[in-house]
Amino acid sequence: DAASMPEDLKGLNGFGILVISNFDTSSLNSKQLESLNKWVEQGRALFIGTGPNWKKVYSGLSEDLKPFQISNTKNMPDPKSLQAVTKKS
């Protein structure tokens, strides 16, 4: 949640990789977003999860953190190989 996201760069510097998925980034305040931008500028790796909740993940991020634009979405069935690994249809 937004309360656990550090507001200063020192708090983020303990991480080399950050994954944001299924999270409403618009709930982050301006200090948190500024620190996240600086953290990425320093060469850290930010992975942005998309999937069915991509809008809430992508909406609150600054344009600097949006290296691509999503123009369309499409539901696709799971491939058989993924079903074998997850043991789910």
pLDDT value of position 85: 65
pLDDT tens digits for range 21-76? 889 999 999 999 999 999 999 999 998 887 778 889 988 999 888 877 777 776 66
Q: Compute the distance between CA of residue 28 and CA of residue 38 in angstroms, rounded to an integer.
A: 15
User: Within 10 Å of residue 27's Cβ, how many Cβ atoms?
Assistant: 13
Distance of CA 33 to the CA centre of its chain: 12
DSSP-derived letter for residue 64 is: G
